[in-house]
């Protein structure tokens, strides 16, 4: 939907000879209105004469009424299309590369999902066919805010697959949603907006998460000093569960989150760089999803602080 809208909007602006700076502002404003949430892009490059579209850093924020997290983070979109077919009202894509870094499924206090709060584009969709699609999906996050404290689970998929002959926008949407949910092992997904868009229910088969962790442990390096990151981690642990022990001298936190024993350890690498390790176990069983969810919340808070300082 975004690719179709971008190409059509760009064509109109080219005919109107709109300057690049004005074009970027107008495009973000129009697309934000289309999806019903704030949309930003770091870089936009469309060459109609060559049938090429490249987008860097496309992000869609959560709709109003949900957390301030990013709903969809697409660092890279690259599309090659037939400009002659486009002139005849068809979007023929010979190759599409999509890197989905982060996708957030969040439920508010009433159980409404963030993706259902997005607007659905009505009316006929431009006929589309994709010859080759290269899809990468890194992280799918579940966030349930219906309880006293949010329940957050992260699923690092590291999915990298190639697909051929995708017929139509519905098939593409089904593929993106099904691959994200299926590989994350999310059961019984009921997404009203997607069902409406595809004019029917979407069957999501359950597939267990397959990754190379399996020890309930996730690690990452964050651009934050150890003292500041400890305070952030402590705040997140308190917001998600109950802190049982904290030791700032050794940069360690123990907490009980979603019934699992969670340990957060920090290791300073430099003044503004800290390695963080989150381990989660429940009844001696590794809980990768809970550990990933805690790390996700901490990283989100670090990024929020960076934006405020910037």
**Per-block average pLDDT, block size 10, for the chain (310 residues)?**
58 49 66 77 80 87 88 90 82 89 89 76 65 87 90 85 79 69 58 45 30 65 94 96 96 96 95 93 88 91 80
In this structure, the answer to whether residues 141 and 223 fall within a common structural domain is no
Cα–Cα nearest to 96, from 52, 146, 65? 52
In this structure, the answer to whether residues 81 and 21 fall within a common structural domain is yes
In this structure, the answer to whether residues 172 and 268 fall within a common structural domain is no
Please tell me the distance from the alpha carbon of residue 115 to that of residue 59, in angstroms, as a whole number.
14
The two structure tokens encoding residue 219: 């690690």
**Domain count along the chain:** 2
The two structure tokens encoding residue 194: 């997607």
Rounded to two decimals, the pTM is 0.73
Domain boundary residue among 148, 168, 197?
Answer: 197
In this structure, the answer to whether residues 49 and 154 fall within a common structural domain is yes
In this structure, the answer to whether residues 168 and 238 fall within a common structural domain is no
**What pLDDT score was predicted for residue 182?**
65
Cβ(106)–Cβ(186) below 8 Å: no
**What pLDDT score was predicted for residue 17?**
46
CATH code of 266's domain: 3.30.530.20
In this structure, the answer to whether residues 95 and 191 fall within a common structural domain is yes
In this structure, the answer to whether residues 189 and 226 fall within a common structural domain is no
**What pLDDT score was predicted for residue 192?**
44
Beta strand pairing call for 242-247 and 260-270? unpaired
In a domain, 27, yes or no: yes
In this structure, the answer to whether residues 32 and 100 fall within a common structural domain is yes
In this structure, the answer to whether residues 255 and 176 fall within a common structural domain is no
Please tell me the distance from the alpha carbon of residue 237 to that of residue 255, in angstroms, as a whole number.
7
| Structural domain for 184, as ranges | 2-197
Q: Which residue's structure tokens are 């949603």?
A: 177
In this structure, the answer to whether residues 31 and 124 fall within a common structural domain is yes
Q: What backbone torsions phi and psi does residue 164 show, to the nearest 5 degrees? A: -130, 150
């Amino acid at each position: 939907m975004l690719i179709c809208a971008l190409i059509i909007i760009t064509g109109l602006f080219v005919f109107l000879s709109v300057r690049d700076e004005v074009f970027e502002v107008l495009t973000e404003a129009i697309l934000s209105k289309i999806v019903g949430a704030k949309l930003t892009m770091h870089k936009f490059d469309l060459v109609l004469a060559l049938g090429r579209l490249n987008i860097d850093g496309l992000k869609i924020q959560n709709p109003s009424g949900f957390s301030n997290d990013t709903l969809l983070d697409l660092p890279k979109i690259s599309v090659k299309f037939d400009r002659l077919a486009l002139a005849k009202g068809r979007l023929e894509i010979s190759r599409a590369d999509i890197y989905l870094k982060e996708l957030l499924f969040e439920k508010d206090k009433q159980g409404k999902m963030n993706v259902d709060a997005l607007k659905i584009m009505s009316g006929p969709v431009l006929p589309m066919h994709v010859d080759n699609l290269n899809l990468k999906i890194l992280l799918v996050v579940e966030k349930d805010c219906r309880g006293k404290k949010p329940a957050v689970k992260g699923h690092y998929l590291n999915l990298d697959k190639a697909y051929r002959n995708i017929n139509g926008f519905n098939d593409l949407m089904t593929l993106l949603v099904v691959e994200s949910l299926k590989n994350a092992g999310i059961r019984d997904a009921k997404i009203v907006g997607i069902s409406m868009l595809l004019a029917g229910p979407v069957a999501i088969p359950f597939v267990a998460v397959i990754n190379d962790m399996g020890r309930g442990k996730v690690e990452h390096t964050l651009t934050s000093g150890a003292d500041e990151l400890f305070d952030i981690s402590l705040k997140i642990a308190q917001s998600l569960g109950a802190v049982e022990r904290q030791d700032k001298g050794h940069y360690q936190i123990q907490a009980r989150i979603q019934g699992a024993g969670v340990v957060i350890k920090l290791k300073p690498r430099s003044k503004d760089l800290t390695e963080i390790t989150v381990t989660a176990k429940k009844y001696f069983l590794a809980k990768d999803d809970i550990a990933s969810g805690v790390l996700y919340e901490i990283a989100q808070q670090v990024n929020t602080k960076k934006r405020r300082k910037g």
